[in-house]
Each structure stands twice: as structure tokens, then as C-alpha cells.
Amino acid sequence: MLKKIILIFLIIKSNNLLSTSNVIPFYHIKLMKWGLIDTITNKTISKPTYNKIYNFRKGFAWFKFENNEGILNEFGQELLRINNGHIYFYDNFIVVKSSKYYHALNYNLDTIIPPLYKSLFNKGSYFFAKKNDKWGVLDFNNNIIIPFEYEYLEFWIFEKTEYFSKNIKAKKDGKWGLINLNNEIIIPFENNEFFNGIFENKNDGKNQGITKFKGENNKYGCIDSTGKTVIQPIYDEIEFNENLFKVKKNDLWGLINHDSKIIIDVKHEWPPSINNGIITIYENLKITLYDSIGTKLNNQKYDYVGNRKDNFILVKYENKYNFINHQGIEQFKSSFQNAFSFENNWASILFNDKAYIINMQGVMICVD
């Protein structure tokens, strides 16, 4: 049973705004369960009994309870619960897998794609679907755009969802090629390997597709959508990550940009990771943070760094937790015994042996 909610204010170095959504999922850091709380009335809408609740989207939230997944509304009512299935939220649709097949709902929970497909996912204005072990593409009205004749299909450009290539990476008879949405062949099905591309934001505001290729020396480089080599094939591996390129050479990793300019020196045992513009480097069991141009955020070496969410980054050092902004500045003067990353402008913390949620202005609500 939750005790009476107590508000505590911390002095912090930030002027971020409160979330406009009243009802949010919260994680009870001691019970290790999720519930719903109204942050205006301080009323618990759903007690923390769920394994996970994700943020609300258009009035609905995904939940997991033991082997079940489902959908909650902001009143804590379960609108859908399926056993041993899966639910996937997209911007305009919800994809549901129950028993053997997938189907799609709109946000009125009306079925728009019937349960006929062994796999189904939404990309832009289309659904990629698998039926009778072959892939095709559907529109929102279940009309077939690309016939079900391919071993696999996906948009060639995939990393930035606001930009979709009109070309589709396709596999047929064991070979890869490129087709368009009219099912016309752009690149013949002659390739044993065909790598996904990303969109590079150019200074002139235009976007250009880039993909990696393997040279005759069995090294990797990158070409743009015109076939021009933009990164020479000198690396043992190249991975795309947020408009930068993780590169491996002589068993060491670094970061470069599309002009081959070194952002992080190729000298690290582990590949850098990038999350919302923040670069994480692992060295000697410690973590150092950099911005997207390779400048250190601060001189601190951390034991743990969480994902950058709502512009705050969870960090741990000297067995204490705090949050920093994207400039590396700590946001709370008090540290915490335990903490989880922000979700929807609130984070779960353990402070003086009590469980709280805290927002970016330092307002704490005790949920113990």
C-alpha cells in the first residue's frame, strides 16, 4: 500500500519545464515494479504491479505483466491483454502478434490489417509483411504495393525515421538487390552482401544516402548514392551510428565523420557508442563522455552511464548516482543511492532509503 505522498524540493541548477502529461508510468525502485501515477493530484492510478509500462502515446501505454503484454489507458484500465504475444507501438498504428499471426490496429483500436501475416512492421507510409515465407509491402488499406515474392525486404535507408528512401533492399533467390516502390529493379540481384544506408545531413540542407562497401582488399569503405567513394576502404569494420561512423582498424576502434575526419582516435579496445549526440568511451573499466565533435563533456570518469533521455544523462561514480545535462554539468546538488534514467520528464530514485520519483525541476514524490 502506498503511503501518503510527500513533496520534497531540491535546489538544482536547471530551469526545465514540467511535463504537460499528468498521468505517467513510474517505477517503484524498491518493489521493482511499474505503476501509474497522476503527478498533479499525487494519486496512484495503478499500483506498481507490472513488470514494465512504457510512456503514453495518444492516450495508450504498453505494459508487460509476467507472460502477458497489453494496453492501458490513462485511467489504468486494461484495454487489451494477450498471453505469449507481442505489441508494438508506431506513430499512427499498433501492431499486435497473437497466436501465429500479426495484425495492425489504429489508435481507435480498429483492425486495419487483418491477422494474416507471420511478420509485420510499419515503416513510414507502408507495412512490410511476411506471408507464406515471402515478403511484400502493403499500404494502410491492406492493398499490396510490392508482391509477396521476396526472401526479405526493408527500406535501404533506415536509421533516421524522418527520411525514407524510396528504394528497398530486397533479397531474391539468395542474392541482394535494390528495387523501388513500383517493384522496378534499381540494382540487379547479383550481390552476396548489401548493406543498409543512412542519411547524411549536408550543410546545404540536402540529404544524401551513404552505405558501406567491401573493397577488393576485403576492407570496408563507404559510397554515397551516386556511387562516389566518400570513405576509402581501409577499415576492418564500419558501423553507422547517428551520422557518424564507428571504424575498426588493427583491432582498435574509433569514430570518423563522412569526410573521414577523426572524431575519436582509432585506439580504443571497445567501439564507442553514441546516444542522442553523446559519445561514450570505455577505458580501463571507466567511462568518459564526449560530444558529437569529439570534445570531452567534463573530466569525470564514470562507473556507469545511462541513456540520454529528456536531455538528462544518468551517471554513477564513487557509488553515487546523479544526472548531468548534455554539457556535462550535474543537475542535482544531492546524489542518490540508486536511480533510473528519466522517462517522460520523471525518474525513479532511492534517496535516504525511500523510493521517490523526481522531475527535472527537483520535485520529488515519495511512492514508498
pLDDT digits (tens, 9 = 90+) for 248-263: 999 999 999 888 999 9
Read off the C-alpha cell for 300: 569525470
Report the alpha-carbon distance of residue 166 to residue 200 in Å, rounded: 16
How many C-alpha atoms does 329 have within 13 Å on its Cβ side?
A: 5
pTM: 0.72
Radius of gyration of the chain from its Cα atoms, rounded to whole angstroms: 24
The pLDDT of residue 344 is 80
Q: Write the burial class of residue 73 (CB in 10 Å: 0-12 exposed, 13-18 middle, 19+ buried).
A: middle
Determine contact, residues 223/213, Cβ cutoff 8 Å: yes
Q: How far apart are the first and last CA of the chain?
A: 8
**Phi, psi dihedrals of residue 34, rounded to the nearest 5°:** -110, 145
**Residue 266 CB partners (closer than 8 Å, separation 6+):** 247, 248, 249, 252, 253, 254
Read off the C-alpha cell for 81: 491483454
> What pLDDT, in 10s, does the model give residues 4-55?
333 333 323 333 323 336 999 999 999 999 999 999 999 999 999 999 999 8
The pLDDT of residue 209 is 67
Domain boundaries, the chain: 206-241+243-263
Helix (H) or strand (E) holding 213: strand 207-214
Which residues of the chain fall below pLDDT 70? 1-21, 157-166, 194-209, 225-227
The pLDDT of residue 243 is 77
Q: What percent of the chain has pLDDT over 70?
A: 86
The pLDDT of residue 364 is 95
DSSP 8-state secondary structure symbol assigned to residue 19: P
Report the alpha-carbon distance of residue 340 to residue 213 in Å, rounded: 39
